[in-house]
Amino acid sequence: MHVVGRPRDESREKAILDAAIGLVAEVGYDGMSVEAIAGRAGASKATIYRRWPGKAQLVADAIRRLQPEAAPEPEDTGSLRGDLLALTRFMFESMGGLDGGLLCGLAVAVRSDPELGRLLDTIKRDARDRAQSLIVSRAKAREEMERTADPPDLIDVAAALSLFHVLGGKPLDEDFAIYLVDKVLLPLTR
Amino acid sequence: MHVVGRPRDESREKAILDAAIGLVAEVGYDGMSVEAIAGRAGASKATIYRRWPGKAQLVADAIRRLQPEAAPEPEDTGSLRGDLLALTRFMFESMGGLDGGLLCGLAVAVRSDPELGRLLDTIKRDARDRAQSLIVSRAKAREEMERTADPPDLIDVAAALSLFHVLGGKPLDEDFAIYLVDKVLLPLTR
Amino acid sequence: MHVVGRPRDESREKAILDAAIGLVAEVGYDGMSVEAIAGRAGASKATIYRRWPGKAQLVADAIRRLQPEAAPEPEDTGSLRGDLLALTRFMFESMGGLDGGLLCGLAVAVRSDPELGRLLDTIKRDARDRAQSLIVSRAKAREEMERTADPPDLIDVAAALSLFHVLGGKPLDEDFAIYLVDKVLLPLTR
Amino acid sequence: MHVVGRPRDESREKAILDAAIGLVAEVGYDGMSVEAIAGRAGASKATIYRRWPGKAQLVADAIRRLQPEAAPEPEDTGSLRGDLLALTRFMFESMGGLDGGLLCGLAVAVRSDPELGRLLDTIKRDARDRAQSLIVSRAKAREEMERTADPPDLIDVAAALSLFHVLGGKPLDEDFAIYLVDKVLLPLTR
DNA sequence: TTTTAACCGAGACGGTACGTCACGTCTTGTG
DNA sequence: CACAAGACGTGACGTACCGTCTCGGTTAAAA
């Protein structure tokens, strides 16, 4: 362990990740260069490579940071449909930055950083564990669902369809949210 | 239109696309070089760049070719569940090549060739128009579905979940097909 | 020997050589392409390669054509100095096109066509054989030179200095002609 | 001016120029590739293109380096003829590498680097300023030349004739040196 | 008159070099 | 030590040119 020498300037990390996120969104994974990240962050390549093993891992980390550290407690809207809509809208928001370009970065980065492969899980895992069970139990309490119902992972379905939607170049708007809830999620609870 | 000059050797196109597909599958989009494609195809870079504007578009085209030109008539298995399973298995097969590496190629290529964005549509469009309506009408005839039922685009849902599944690094196996049909597709028909 | 088939269109040769000369003068040997020659001549590459083995030989041929087929009888100006000046001016004229660009073409072409190496001889050979002896004998008749004088090849010297001059980027103007005659050629006759 | 950053490794320059000279001599300007220079120098194309704008300028620089930085003091041989012969032999030596291939490189490079056009001057400028005046003043002291004599630039003449000679494919040997001195240079001093 | 064979323009082909750019490593001086 | 700056080797990119080839079409001598 090193006990002497100049300590790392932890502010660099944020600057670099912010620059990376911005560039992924603007020009995509392939269109950006590590040099551009360094330039925008006012950092140097040496600093970047001292902290991350490569471009892919850096971008992976940057995307990871995009996810909210703590999904807020899903609010109780009073109905299953309302809860699902709120969940969908929240997911849209947290995927907001994930337009085509960012997803490409993700898809590529996933190759070099298998651990990032679980990011897609993470997008929904917390939500599922803390949201789905809550929403479902509320719905059962309201007797909107049968006690014995065992729906599939709704968040999986919602995330998958949203990803598919956005990959096709279409926007994650209210129309799609309503379609998603009324034609897919809600029927799956019955 | 050009009326004179040496005509293009159309056999080159197939050779080049085959080489591209092979390399995407073996080393991934980033790991392959245009020169390697040319070498494997017994072609020259000039020939490649005469036909495609760049690497991304070439790979996009190559992936496009993977799709079956004509989806076969979906067989009548005698039950809605059987039909859906057959459809799912067929889709898995036609997505077979789309492992992680290939999907990365796709994800990157999609950026430079918006038209490829509609590939995801194409994966299912024909199938939907000729399969979903057939399967649904058969199911209604068998009285497995209500006459008035209007399920969402089942193929959309199936494709989206499959893509999501494979992006997470998991295989498109029989277990997942059964989960997909029994927990998602079939419930959506009710 | 072929006795049947369409005979060559001899007009193509001139068109191609003219185009080649023009391009050498405009953009230099390296800056021009065989395709550009073909385009400017309204010809095709096949026609060019049917007649010349390569670019260097074509350019060599084109430069060769620049030389006058027959040097005119050098006029008798009444004095040795006048004769030498006239000779020098004539040489400048016949080297007129040989600016830097053209000389580069020549220098490169000479490598691939040793026969062209003798072009530099040709620039002066005829002149020497038919001019130097004439000028010298006239001068001896006028008693401007001793009967026994045996000057070096004046045209060699004139050509070499002119080439050197032009390679340095300086123009073959009247000032240089007078310098050449008064400071070099004339002294060599004494 | 840059005050920070890794300084250039000046040893690379020599390695690259040496490699370039070697290749020009071996295969000629056209026959060599920048990649070959890089390979032989143990350098990379990036390093080459960071220092020179292109192949022509690199070769120009390499040829420039061929010239001796400091022409040695011309020795006093005791006679004008001896001094001129010594000068001629020295010039032959310093032009030694300038065979056909190297001259082609020069001729081409001259186009892209006008400053190199003055290389031909440099071949002789120093020599003239420090040698011609010395040789001439010695000759005048020995009363081999008239005090009032004002010969042309002998080194110009010698260099021009030598260049012309070598361009014609003929060697710069002792025979030519003697011809040059006895038939041209010496007569010009009278 | 028909055949025949070489010519012509256009332009695709395999190759090879060009000059650019990015990656990830390294080597400076400064704090 | 960390850091900014930036040179380094490596290697892919996309462009341009070379010299060859294959087309459809033309032209004149031979049959």
The residue that minimises its CA distance to C1' of F26 is C6
pLDDT digit string, tens, across residues A78-127: 899 999 999 888 888 776 655 555 665 566 566 556 665 666 566 556 66
- Alpha carbons within 13 angstroms on the beta-carbon side of residue A189 total 26
Put simply, whether C184 touches D (Cβ < 8 Å) is yes
The answer to whether C4 CB sits below 7 Å from nucleic acid chain F is: yes
Put simply, whether D7 touches C (Cβ < 8 Å) is no
The pLDDT, as a whole number, for residue D132 is: 78
Measured CA to CA in angstroms, residue B177 lies from B111, B125, B184, D134 at distances of 30, 20, 10, 99
The pLDDT, as a whole number, for residue D4 is: 84
Q: Residue D8 region, left (φ>0) first, then alpha (ψ -120 to 50), else beta?
A: beta
A179, closest residue in chain B (CA to CA): B152
- Positions 72-91 of B with beta carbon below 7 A from strand F are none
The residue that minimises its CA distance to C1' of F27 is C6
State yes or no: pLDDT of D187 exceeds 60.
yes
- Positions 59-118 of C with beta carbon below 7 A from strand F are none
The low-confidence residues of chain C, meaning pLDDT below 50, are none
Contact C167 D118 (CB under 8 A): no
Copy the structure tokens of residue B42: 């017994």
Q: How far apart are CA A172 and CA D16, in angstroms?
A: 57
Greatest CA separation found in chain A? Answer: 64
DSSP conformational letter for C70? S
The answer to whether D7 CB sits below 7 Å from nucleic acid chain E is: yes
Q: Which residue has the tokens 């949210």?
A: A177
B101: closest CA among B171, B15, B170, B31?
Answer: B31
State yes or no: pLDDT of D106 exceeds 90.
no
Res. B67 pLDDT band, cuts 50 70 90: low
State yes or no: pLDDT of D174 exceeds 80.
yes
Contact call for residues D151 and D184 (beta carbons, < 8 A) = no
For residue C29, the chain D residues in CB contact (below 8 A) are: 108
Q: How far apart are CA A145 and CA A136, in angstroms?
A: 8
Length of chain A: 190
For residue C30, the chain D residues in CB contact (below 8 A) are: 108, 111
**Higher-pLDDT residue of B113, A142:** A142
Q: Per-residue confidence of chain A (190 residues) as pLDDT tens digits? A: 556 778 888 899 999 999 999 998 888 788 899 999 999 999 999 999 999 999 988 988 887 787 655 556 777 898 999 999 998 888 887 766 555 556 655 665 665 566 656 665 665 566 666 677 888 888 989 989 888 888 888 888 998 898 888 777 678 889 999 999 999 999 998 8
Beta-carbon neighbour count of residue B122 at 10 Å? 12
State yes or no: pLDDT of B182 exceeds 60.
yes
The pLDDT, as a whole number, for residue A14 is: 94
Res. D100 pLDDT band, cuts 50 70 90: low
Nucleotide nearest to D42 (CA to C1'): F9
pTM of the model: 0.76
The pLDDT, as a whole number, for residue A113 is: 60
Residues 148-167 of C with CB under 8 A from D: 151-152, 156-157, 159-161, 163-165, 167
Contact call for residues A164 and A187 (beta carbons, < 8 A) = no
Beta-carbon neighbour count of residue B97 at 10 Å? 15
Q: Which long-range contacts (CB under 8 A, 24 or more apart) does B6-11 make?
A: B8/B51
Portion of chain D with pLDDT greater than 90, in percent = 34
Res. D13 pLDDT band, cuts 50 70 90: very high
Instruction: State the average pLDDT over residues B104-119.
Output: 59
Pick from D29, D164, D183: CB nearest C160: D164
Put simply, whether B2 touches A (Cβ < 8 Å) is no
State yes or no: pLDDT of B122 exceeds 70.
no
Q: How far is the CA of B4 from the C1' of F25 (A)?
A: 9
B116, closest residue in chain A (CA to CA): A168
Pick from A107, A160, A190: CB nearest B160: A160
Put simply, whether A183 touches B (Cβ < 8 Å) is yes
The residue that minimises its CA distance to C1' of E23 is A34
> Which residues lie below 8 Å from residue D15, measured CB to CB, with a gap of 6+?
D41, D42, D43
Residues 91-130 of B with CB under 8 A from A: 100-101, 103-104, 106-108, 110-111, 114, 117-118, 120-121
- Positions 8-47 of C with beta carbon below 7 A from strand E are 8-9, 12, 38-39, 41-47
Q: How far is the CA of C114 from the C1' of F11 (A)?
A: 39
The pLDDT, as a whole number, for residue B159 is: 85
Pick from A152, A169, A184: CB nearest B114: A169
Pick from C30, C120, C188: CB nearest D108: C30
- Positions 82-111 of B with beta carbon below 7 A from strand E are none
Q: How far is D50 from chain C (nearest CA, A)?
A: 23
For residue C116, the chain D residues in CB contact (below 8 A) are: none
Mean of pLDDT over chain D: 82
Put simply, whether D29 touches C (Cβ < 8 Å) is yes
Q: Which residue, among D26, D164, D186, would best test binding to C if mutated, counting the most C CBs under 10 Å from its CB?
A: D164
- Positions 125-184 of C with beta carbon below 7 A from strand E are none
A115, closest residue in chain B (CA to CA): B168
For residue A114, the chain B residues in CB contact (below 8 A) are: 169
Copy the structure tokens of residue A95: 């995927």
Res. D51 pLDDT band, cuts 50 70 90: very high
Quick check: helix, strand or coil at residue D119? helix
Put simply, whether B63 touches A (Cβ < 8 Å) is no
| Residue B20 buriedness (CB in 10 A; 0-12 / 13-18 / 19+) | buried
Q: How far is A44 from chain B (nearest CA, A)?
A: 25
Q: Which residue, among C57, C110, C132, would best test binding to D if mutated, counting the most D CBs under 10 Å from its CB?
A: C110
Greatest CA separation found in chain C? Answer: 64
> Which residues lie below 8 Å from residue A9, measured CB to CB, with a gap of 6+?
none
State yes or no: pLDDT of D40 exceeds 90.
yes
Q: How far is the CA of C168 from the C1' of F15 (A)?
A: 33
- Positions 33-62 of D with beta carbon below 7 A from strand F are 38, 42-47, 50-51
The residue that minimises its CA distance to C1' of E28 is D6
Contact call for residues D81 and D181 (beta carbons, < 8 A) = yes
Res. D108 pLDDT band, cuts 50 70 90: low
Among C113-117, D6-10, D72-76, D164-168, where is mean pLDDT lowest?
Answer: C113-117
SS3 of A21-89: HHHHHHHHHHHCCHHHHHHHHCCCHHHHHHHCCCHHHHHHHHHHHHCCCCCCCCCCCCCHHHHHHHHHH
Nucleotide nearest to B36 (CA to C1'): F12
The residue that minimises its CA distance to C1' of E10 is B5
Q: How far apart are CA D185 and CA C96, in angstroms?
A: 27
**Higher-pLDDT residue of D65, A58:** A58
Q: How far is A7 from chain B (nearest CA, A)?
A: 36
Nucleotides of E under 7 A from a protein CB: 4-31
- Alpha carbons within 13 angstroms on the beta-carbon side of residue B40 total 19
Copy the structure tokens of residue A115: 């651990």
Quick check: helix, strand or coil at residue C6? coil
The pLDDT, as a whole number, for residue D38 is: 97
Rounded to the nearest 10°, the torsion over CA D1, D55, C16, C52 is: 180
Pick from D29, D114, D160: CB nearest C163: D160
Contact call for residues C169 and C60 (beta carbons, < 8 A) = no
B28, closest residue in chain A (CA to CA): A111
Contact D167 C29 (CB under 8 A): no
